[in-house]
Amino acid sequence: MKKIICAAILAAAVLAMTGCKKSQKKEGADAVSALKTRGVFVLGLDDSFPPLGFRSENNEVVGYDIDLAKEVAKRLGVEFRAQPIDWDAKEMELETGKIDCIWNGFTITEERKNALSFTEAYLNNDQVLVVRSDSGINSLADMKGKTVGIQSGSSAQEAVDDNADFAASISKLIMFKDNITALNDLDIGGVDGVVMDSVVANYSIAQTKKPFKVIDESLANEGYGVGFRKNEPELRDAVWSILKEMQADGTVAAISQKWFGRDISSIK
């Protein structure tokens, strides 16, 4: 009798686990239709990351990534909503369903690929060092004994860690909420340099006219992708397919021209 009961319990457990797996698979497979039913595509971003996503003078969230995502939402037949998030908690915001994707200069890394469903890279980037023009700093080696600022939760941390000699030479690594705050601290001499995305650095210098320069040596080459929940590859594929259509019909080039003055897209 005990053997029969145990067998029945085991069979029930197996069925329950199978049903759970089927439910999870169905949830992922229905991600596109569920999005269309909700009627809103919610993008999670750091809203102080120009020119990809940031606040305009009218306090609207604008930028290159925003324009791309708005067009994707339009072609999906849904509304678009930009949802500013704490970049340190971006993965949690995604997993709890508060946003549909992370799309804002989101660097593709092996660790993130293991946790999320990533598109291919739609834009290439470098992690670079920004210093004051009058600092006398002209190379990474010149940062010996000096302080460096980075955005907390960004891939700049990994870029610094992966450059062992550079990491060992600096005196202190200071975390900031966002790159704009880090650059403001650089402007007043709070830090000697800021490691950040070249896309953001070059745009910010051109727009603000602050006396900064970008050191020629790159700390890391990387690609930006759009991150989705791990069990929703269908939604990822739908978005990537639309981005490829937009690349083919010239929409991406037009948006890139608007923000960068040339087509810098890496979409194939």
Distance of CA 256 to the CA centre of its chain: 17
Pick the range with the lowest mean pLDDT from 11-15, 231-235, 259-263: 11-15
Q: How far is CA 162 from the centre of its chain?
A: 19
pLDDT of 56 higher than 60? yes
Residue 29's pLDDT band (cuts 50, 70, 90): low
Mean pLDDT of all residues in 105-127 = 95
Residue with tokens 């070249």: 198
User: What type of residue sits at position 153?
Assistant: G
Q: Which tens digits make up the pLDDT trace of 190-231? A: 999 999 999 999 999 999 999 999 999 999 999 999 999 999
Taking the C-alpha atoms of residue 246 and residue 112, their distance in angstroms, rounded to an integer, is 26
100 alpha-carbon distance from chain centroid? 13
Q: What is the pLDDT of residue 16?
A: 44
**pLDDT for the residue numbered 255:** 98
Eight-state DSSP code of residue 265: B
Task: Give the bridge partners for 82, in sequence order.
Answer: 43
Residue 131: beta bridge partners? Answer: 213
> What span, in angstroms and rounded, lies between the C-alpha atoms of 263 and 124?
12
Q: How does strand 123-132 pair with strand 193-197?
A: antiparallel
User: Which token pair is 237?
Assistant: 């594929």
With bands split at pLDDT 50, 70 and 90, how would you rate the model's confidence at 4?
very low
